[in-house]
Amino acid sequence: MPVSAKSADSTNDTDTNRGGAKVPPLMWAFAAVLALGTGVGGFIVGENYGYDRAVDALAAGELPEKENSVPVTEIPKDAKPGTDFAEPEASEEAALIHGPGSEITSRQDISNSARRDPNDPFAVGAVDAPVVIAEFTDWECPFCIRHANETEPELIKEYVDTGYVRIEWNDMPINGDAAQAAARAGRAAAEQGKFADYKKAYFEEAVQVEGHPGYGIEDFVRFAEAAGVPDIDKFREDAESDKYDDAIAEALDYAQGLGITGTPGFIVNDEFIGGALPVEDFRKVINAELQKTTS
């Protein structure tokens, strides 16, 4: 049975969230429009386990393609990659980053989900990449784990390392206390500049678990050690504290304000992909977005 996402009680607009402007409640009204925006037929998933629904609907041809859309099978030759691979500086402030790059008030503003903050510890790829994927993920979600191990490495190799795509993580902990605890640990690793390495260590082990991993603090410490987090005592203290709770709650509120109710979800510039779809489906959307930059 799917676990319903619970809204955060409040949203705090501060400089710390790096452009964490509120997403108005009216976003719920056009969530369905956003859901039909993607050329691969992605949709806002109404439950945690969106993968099977997305793949089944796609295979059955039940989800509409955009009119006159022609799949772009390769990176357009005139697409220009980004070149600014700035390394973020580790800090407590950076570990509290969340939300969109600027205010989102309508479907036309959905590309504002890209933060493009050079000091964002939850991002990989060039700050000036032509395509940004805003990823909404729960550490406890089996399909998020599948995506992290099967699809994301291909995307990083083909698009991120070459400057065409930037991926920005957004916490969306909807699977209870274990998901909240894992989100705190992820931010504790980010505070010491080791988020990407920690994430890799976590998901590479989590994929071997059937269902939800249900990890605890000793597991988090083990992943931090594998990731090379320099101060393990500080990591443990931060991961067990409430210092990140407001940022995590506001990140969840942001995702729900967009109408995203299941994980994983991805906004690719201004297109939505729902579920842990195969890499081929991401290529279609990414290449189409790159094509737009050449015209």
| 245-291 tens-digit pLDDT | 999 999 999 999 999 989 999 999 999 999 999 999 999 999 999 99
Q: How confident is the model at residue 54 (pLDDT cuts 50, 70, 90)?
A: very low
Measure CA 26 to chain center.
Answer: 22
- Given a cut of 80, is residue 3 above it in pLDDT? no
Q: Which of these ranges, 43-47, 189-193, 255-259, has the smallest mean pLDDT? A: 43-47
The predicted structure's pLDDT at residue 29: 37
Looking at the domain assignment, is residue 33 inside a domain? no
Query: What's the CATH number where 192 sits?
Result: 3.40.30.10
Helix runs in the chain, H state only: 31-35, 50-60, 142-146, 152-155, 176-191, 195-206, 217-227, 232-239, 245-257, 279-292
Looking at the domain assignment, is residue 223 inside a domain? yes
Looking at the domain assignment, is residue 17 inside a domain? no
Looking at the domain assignment, is residue 171 inside a domain? yes
Looking at the domain assignment, is residue 148 inside a domain? yes
Mean pLDDT, residues 9-33 taken together:
41
Looking at the domain assignment, is residue 164 inside a domain? yes
Q: How confident is the model at residue 45 (pLDDT cuts 50, 70, 90)?
A: very low
- Given a cut of 60, is residue 68 above it in pLDDT? no
Looking at the domain assignment, is residue 240 inside a domain? yes
The predicted structure's pLDDT at residue 69: 61
Mean pLDDT, residues 186-214 taken together:
97
The predicted structure's pLDDT at residue 31: 44
> Dihedral angle at the C-alpha atoms of 281, 286, 292, 295, nearest 10 degrees?
-110
Domain count within the chain = 1
DSSP 205-226: HHTTSSS-----HHHHHHHHHH
Domain extent, residue 186, equals 46-293
The predicted structure's pLDDT at residue 106: 87
